[in-house]
Amino acid sequence: MRIGFENHDHGKCMSRGIESVSEYCVSNDLQLTPVRRRVMEILLQRHRALGAYEILDILRAEGLGSQPPVVYRALDFLLKNGFAHKIERCNAYTACMHVGQEHVPAFLICKECNAVVETQSAVSSNFLETAAKGTDFAIERVVIEAEGQCPNCRKAKA
């Protein structure tokens, strides 16, 4: 198994992920309902950007919900509380790798296999802050996404 593009103990990474989320929910009085938990698990399991309808298909197969609002509500919850991120480039979603830590996420996204690595951005990239101050713009959210080819897919092509 790989984290991002490298091997790792993914089972552990997943159970730790769910645990962080679970703890955070208890501490902050948030309800980690079955659908929400399952969507979080799915995102953690895949370690890549998943479309809402891909997730919905899985939920459907498991009898956990069959209509779009089910998955979009669960995703809203996960996004709002920082448990997952939306990859705007792909209209897809991925588990957060830094639950509970304030951060501006940045992503490396493989266009072949949709694998995603989340890296911490250098605090929202100073040039943005500078540009914003220069024009008196109030930044509320920053999207940083790099699309390309991951090492595995590069090897596969060669």
Count Cβ atoms within 10 A of the Cβ of residue 12 and give its class: 0-12 exposed, 13-18 middle, 19 or more buried: exposed
Buried b (16+ CB within 10 A) or exposed e, 89-121: ebebbbbbbebeeebbbbbbbbeeebbbbbeee
Binding partner of residue 101 among a second copy, DNA, none, CB under 5 to 8 Å per kind?
none
- Residue 141 or 158 with smaller CB distance to DNA: 141
Number of residues that bind DNA (CB under 7 A): 21
For residue 107, give the DSSP letter.
E
Interface size with a second copy, residues (CB under 8 A): 39
Binding of residue 51 to DNA (CB under 7 A):
yes
Instruction: State yes or no: residue 105 binds a second copy (CB under 8 A).
Output: no
- Binds a second copy by CB under 8 A, chosen from 54, 89, 100, 101: 89
**Is there a contact between 107 and 119 (Cβ–Cβ < 8 Å)?**
yes
Calpha distance 117→52 (Å, rounded): 19
Q: Identify what 144 binds: a second copy, DNA, none; CB under 5 to 8 Å per kind.
A: a second copy
Residues lying near a second copy in the complex (CB under 8 A) are found at 4-6, 88-89, 106, 108, 110-111, 117, 119-122, 124-128, 131-132, 135-151, 154
